Structure 1
Amino acid sequence: MAENSLLVAAIDFGTTYSGWAFSFRHEFEREPTKVSAKNWSGGQLVSLKGPTCVLIKPDGQTFHSFGFEAESKYADLALDEEHESWYFFKRFKMKLFSEGLGRNLLLEDASGKKLSAKLVFSLSIKHLKDDLLKLSENRISGGGLRDGDIKWVLTVPAIWNDGAKQFMREAAREAGISDDKLTIALEPEAASLYCRHLPVEKCGSDKMSLSKFGAGKRYLVLDAGGGTVDITVHEVMRGGCLKELHKASGGAWGGTTVDDAFFNFLSKIAGPSVMAKFKDKHMEDFIDLFRDFEVKKREIRPDKDSKVTFRIPTVFADLVKEVKGETLQDSISKMAYANQVKLVGDKLRVEPDIVKSFFEPSINSIMRHVRELLQKPVNRGVEAIVMVGGFSESLLLQHATKGTFSNLRIIVPDEAGLAVLKGAVIFGHQPSVISERVSKYTYGVDTIQNFIPTRHPIEKQKVVSGVLKCQDIFSIHVKAGETLVVGEPQTEQTYTTSTETQHAMVIDIYATQQLNPKYTDEPGCHKIGTIDVPVSGSGLGRKVMVKMIFGGTEIEVECTEVATGKITRTKVDFLT
């Protein structure tokens, strides 16, 4: 546990940007928010995190670089037309936000070549880990840190499924972080903890601090990152612990949707084939253009009425001429909104309303979802919205939130983009501060029971050891929306052996968003893991008691053989 650790080190592996931070135990005890983090820089863009991109050498195994350095090296290789054999992966985290995730998942790099996702993630985590250790060890006199001195925390979106969380744990293990030294933190929970410790003067212009929220107070955490928007609702408990009121929810509405809109805007001007060639053949200019957009994106204000200027690389205009046989100016003049876009030398001058429109799909989705959440009876009494994550630094998103929810206090902490990372360090020191969560799914076990003609469908009949049974029955342990007390077992169910000679009971764990599933093959039911429980002796009806324990952000299952009292306790294997 963190209490015995000299250092808590957190890695925030984001869709768009990643970073690391740490604090020593004595620093945390003195000032919980005093956290050391790295400053990253690329060109004119200085960031508290670096871009989530990794460059792997042509052998498909050896790490070369990460972040801005990987971007720049790949651009250099592209200039010399030597990039085709290298592997360059960018914004690949969103691949884990999908069903059907398995250990053998492949990722496609910038030029379409494939590598194992586990390898790409583990090499990236290893680099971030080693980079953090280098700086932290400089702070220690008389010798470096031992593995046992460090508690690691890895952040994941709360809306991810259990398989994606396990995938990250296994990638961290391959990166050299042992299971017993790793905690998985949910991003909005980490951000919530950070904001609970912030003094008033660091809570944005409204000067309202969550630290003043006493027992019974409720607030919504809006964690808007690059890829996902993650939303949870918390209630403060006696003693300062936090209780989740509603299961984590959200969607793929993060800041990258704004980048995609800018890319589509340029595609409309120049044509898709020009954009594809520009990205492929002029990578350095492509990267510079989007770094410039990243800076401009952060400056767009709701009241901005002057044009936004983008410097367009000369090769972009040359490509339009080469591919379309017309100048870039001619191409712009044919557009529906030609009077709102002007080319002046190598500068593209764009009316502010067009640039603001890049944000609309994402902001509208977020506002609609938050409104629906706040209308649910379980979330009544929410007094504030806490905005964290890099995209929450957008003044347009802040303006929309304040306008839509004018009856609530809106808290945007200083350095909102670092709230998750710094909160993850706090979570590593105080993992028990989250006392109750809400189950996102109904969890249960696939069972066979005696067939009852008036209750069970005929197609479920199966003869087992001469007895007519009903198969595929969903034996519920936890229902979606049910409150889970951290560390305490949920409903206990007893299962029996179905053959006389079996030496193990294979228990298949299922999950669904339905509240009351009857059978495991109903639409929406997914097998999420399997546990083999050894059973001794012989004969029918040997009993095993099964209970699920939601000890943290992952699930453990405890199986007790009734006859011997022998306990098998294991984490569910969610990956195929």
Structure 2
Amino acid sequence: MVRVTMFCNVHKVVAHTPPQSLFNPKHLLVAAIDFGTTYSSWAFSFRFDYDSDPTKVSAKQWQGHESTKGPTCVLIKPDGKTLHSFGFDAEAKYAELIEEDENKDWFFFRRFKMMLWKQKLNRNSLLEDENGRKLLAMTVFALSIKYLKEDLWVVSNDRIADAVLPNEIHWVLTVPAIWNNAAKQFMREAAEEAGIESDMLTIALEPEAASLFCRHLPVEKSGDQFSLASLRAGRQYLVLDAGGGTVDITVHEITASGGVKELYKASGGAWGGTKVDDSFEEFLVCLTDKCVVKKFKEHHLDDYTELLRRFEVKKREIDPDMDTKLVMSIPLAFLTTVKKGLHKDFNKAVKKTSYSNSVTLSGDKLKIDATVARSFFKESIDSTIEHVKDILGKRENCGVEAILMVGGFSESKMLNKAVKQTFPGLKLIVPDEAGLAILKGAVMFGHDPRGITERISKYTYGILTHPAFDSTKHPESAIFTDIDGIDKCQYFFDKHVLAGQSLRVGEAQSEETYVTRPSHTSTVLIEVFATENKFPVLVTDPGCRQVGKYTLEMAGTGGGRPILVRMIFGGTEIDVECTEKATGNVSHIKIDFLSYIC
């Protein structure tokens, strides 16, 4: 067997392949799942509804709760394989198990999506539950997606009397744009394990989905007197997707066709609404003690959950322009835990802290001064604002004229005011129900993904080759002499796509022909590498990793047999296509960010 690394590079041309449509008119229904850090939900629309009004999307209503989203919590039975419940039901059942002291053998996971953020993922990655017990992360995610999938299936079929067939549903799963490819692939495989066929599944980037939805909103539904739909071709805007776990920021431009192209790569951090929740919990620790809060959470999970729900409501009301105290009920179980743990009541404990003059308890009502309540947002907002400043300071983003705020945390008055004050020269768009913009936009994306025309590559992609040694391009340490007596560069990174390059969706970004050497046998090993570095020289450079390999069966042996390698970006994922020119046989290399290690 001979590697593609033994080939000599003949030529490279930029392809002008017509866009490949991802649209399938057979899809009677598009179903989207928004799997969030804090809350999750689903939505769908039928083809005939989309054709008449793209924004007409049906979202889940959680029974017994006035909410279109439920908590991202999953309860798995002691066998570690069987789902018991998800969302509100999982919280309630697990609290019941705690009360009956029967929870130790069960698996309860909450807010676990952030495990995929900046982690070295593989298919055997483990996830730790509330008791410190571990399960395969793939199992936890797959069972959660399966619940949402089956719940949506039941409701959608009720609408038209069981008339929808499985092959008539196209599924869309949303992911943050700032996630790396391993995390995106992990979610795809979890969805496949949940029973969704790969060719019936699209991965949608959250800011893009929100953009598509808001592009269709008229002024009266856009949350202001300025709507995204009013922007003409060539106009640019920044998307600030503030969710529960992450803040996802990118820059988009309106195309001549009315679509959207990514102008600047997505970036951001773990500064979402849960960061405010973390600050509130740290505040409780400061008022009492770390062990007290830990015991309260462990022994009274239902009360702890209820306290967080109350804070979730209150934190949306915290106003930067109001000095009204934040007043919220505190569970009796918390006050009892404080008494037992500290041997003093709550008010006496507070008197010993720096909050003695700003926090009081009257009955079960905790009263917090407005300055303290606003401080819960400081780390999250400061990090977000500084990052937006940095992005807007880039030369390529000088044309940005508006900021589109979506995601549940975008409904916060504190974050809204900070953005408006810091960037007074930019129009601010916060659509009604900003938390549902991504979910509804994902449904629209599933019906017609052609609304997104260009994306920015996060990686440099290339093929491992051994070209003729060139001292002006190759390091001396890489020189070797092959069996034909020719000096070559070992492990050369032959670049096809550069990090930061604009990619036309559905088109081949590069075409490169490789020709076999005289020593070639009947098979060729092609190896694909990726790196965040824009200009790697060797595949052994720091940060380079193999993401795919394929043994190509050739029709003949010997030198001079050309192989065409093309990289095509369809949707949010990459396809590497290899064609043996002599026969026209086409093969595809599976790109796998979960198996290959740096």
TM bracket, shorter-chain basis: over 0.9
Partner residue of 1:86? Answer: 106
Partner residue of 1:160? Answer: 179
In structure 2, distance between residues paired with 1:409 and 1:122? 40
User: Measured at CA, do residues 73 and 499 of structure 1 come closer, stay the same or move farther in structure 2, by a change above 3 Å?
Assistant: farther
Aligned-residue offset at 1:542: 4.1
In structure 2, distance between residues paired with 1:179 and 1:147? 13
Partner residue of 1:52? Answer: 72
- Contact 1:465–1:499 (8 Å) recurs in 2: no
CA shift digits 1:361-417 (9 cap, x unpaired): 111111111111112121122111110000001011111111111101101000000
Partner residue of 1:14? Answer: 36
> What does 1:331-346 correspond to in 2, within 5 Å?
331-346=349-364
Q: Which amino acid in the other structure matches residue 170 of structure 1?
A: E
In structure 2, distance between residues paired with 1:528 and 1:359? 39
- Secondary structure (helix, strand or coil) at the match of 1:387 reads strand
Aligned-residue offset at 1:156: 0.8
Confirm or deny that 1:243 pairs with 2:265: no
- Contact 2:261–2:454 (8 Å) recurs in 1: yes
Partner residue of 1:548? Answer: 567
User: Measured at CA, do residues 94 and 462 of structure 1 come closer, stay the same or move farther in structure 2, by a change above 3 Å?
Assistant: farther
Partner residue of 1:557? Answer: 576
> What does 1:58-207 correspond to in 2, within 5 Å?
58-141=78-161, 143-204=162-223, 206-207=224-225
Partner residue of 1:529? Answer: 548
Q: Which amino acid in the other structure matches residue 102 of structure 2?
A: E
- Contact 2:474–2:537 (8 Å) recurs in 1: no
- Contact 1:530–1:573 (8 Å) recurs in 2: no
In structure 1, distance between residues paired with 2:558 and 2:222? 65
In structure 2, distance between residues paired with 1:51 and 1:525? 38
Confirm or deny that 1:32 pairs with 2:50: no
Partner residue of 2:374? Answer: 356
> What does 1:102-501 correspond to in 2, within 5 Å?
102-141=122-161, 143-204=162-223, 206-452=224-470, 456-462=474-480, 464-465=482-483, 467=485, 468-497=487-516, 500=519
Q: Which amino acid in the other structure matches residue 19 of structure 1?
A: S
- Contact 1:5–1:151 (8 Å) recurs in 2: yes
CA shift digits 1:441-499 (9 cap, x unpaired): 22222222334466544443445436453322111111111111111111222335579
CA shift digits 1:258-313 (9 cap, x unpaired): 01111111111221111111111111111111111111111111122121123222
Q: Which amino acid in the other structure matches residue 228 of structure 1?
A: T
- Secondary structure (helix, strand or coil) at the match of 1:65 reads strand
User: Measured at CA, do residues 179 and 350 of structure 1 come closer, stay the same or move farther in structure 2, by a change above 3 Å?
Assistant: same
- Secondary structure (helix, strand or coil) at the match of 1:369 reads helix
Q: TM-score, normalised by structure 2?
A: 0.92
In structure 2, distance between residues paired with 1:456 and 1:245? 33
Q: TM-score, normalised by structure 1?
A: 0.95
Aligned-residue offset at 1:100: 2.1
In structure 2, distance between residues paired with 1:336 and 1:41? 43
User: Measured at CA, do residues 148 and 541 of structure 1 come closer, stay the same or move farther in structure 2, by a change above 3 Å?
Assistant: same
Aligned-residue offset at 1:85: 0.6
- Secondary structure (helix, strand or coil) at the match of 1:450 reads coil
- Contact 2:287–2:349 (8 Å) recurs in 1: yes
In structure 2, distance between residues paired with 1:454 and 1:244? 35
In structure 2, distance between residues paired with 1:466 and 1:281? 73
List runs of 5+ in structure 2 lacking aligned partners. Answer: 1-22
In structure 2, distance between residues paired with 1:559 and 1:409? 47
- The more displaced of 28-37 and 275-284 is 275-284
User: Measured at CA, do residues 324 and 3 of structure 1 come closer, stay the same or move farther in structure 2, by a change above 3 Å?
Assistant: same
CA shift digits 1:6-31 (9 cap, x unpaired): 11111111111111000111111111
- Secondary structure (helix, strand or coil) at the match of 1:285 reads helix
In structure 2, distance between residues paired with 1:370 and 1:283? 37
Q: Which amino acid in the other structure matches residue 372 of structure 1?
A: D
Partner residue of 1:573? Answer: 592
- Secondary structure (helix, strand or coil) at the match of 1:216 reads coil
- Secondary structure (helix, strand or coil) at the match of 2:466 reads strand
Aligned-residue offset at 1:147: 1.2
CA shift digits 1:127-184 (9 cap, x unpaired): 101111111111114x431112111111111111112111111111111111111111
Partner residue of 2:18? Answer: none
Partner residue of 2:5? Answer: none
Aligned-residue offset at 1:317: 2.4
In structure 1, distance between residues paired with 2:481 and 2:190? 43
What CA RMSD, in Å, does the superposition of the two structures yield over aligned residues? 1.8
- Contact 1:341–1:350 (8 Å) recurs in 2: yes
In structure 2, distance between residues paired with 1:476 and 1:281? 56
Identity of aligned residues (%): 56
CA shift digits 1:24-46 (9 cap, x unpaired): 1111111111100112267xx63
In structure 2, distance between residues paired with 1:412 and 1:321? 44
- Contact 1:531–1:572 (8 Å) recurs in 2: no
In structure 2, distance between residues paired with 1:55 and 1:366? 33
Partner residue of 1:517? Answer: 536
Partner residue of 2:16? Answer: none
Q: Which amino acid in the other structure matches residue 432 of structure 1?
A: R
By relative contact order (CA 8 Å, sep 6+), the higher-ranking structure is 2
Q: Which amino acid in the other structure matches residue 22 of structure 1?
A: F
In structure 2, distance between residues paired with 1:321 and 1:542? 81
User: Measured at CA, do residues 321 and 558 of structure 1 come closer, stay the same or move farther in structure 2, by a change above 3 Å?
Assistant: same
User: Measured at CA, do residues 274 and 462 of structure 1 come closer, stay the same or move farther in structure 2, by a change above 3 Å?
Assistant: farther
In structure 2, distance between residues paired with 1:172 and 1:194? 24
- Secondary structure (helix, strand or coil) at the match of 2:444 reads helix
In structure 2, distance between residues paired with 1:185 and 1:499? 46
Aligned-residue offset at 1:114: 0.8
List runs of 5+ in structure 1 lacking aligned partners. Answer: none
In structure 2, distance between residues paired with 1:499 and 1:84? 66
In structure 1, distance between residues paired with 2:376 and 2:482? 61
In structure 2, distance between residues paired with 1:99 and 1:278? 30
- Secondary structure (helix, strand or coil) at the match of 2:490 reads strand
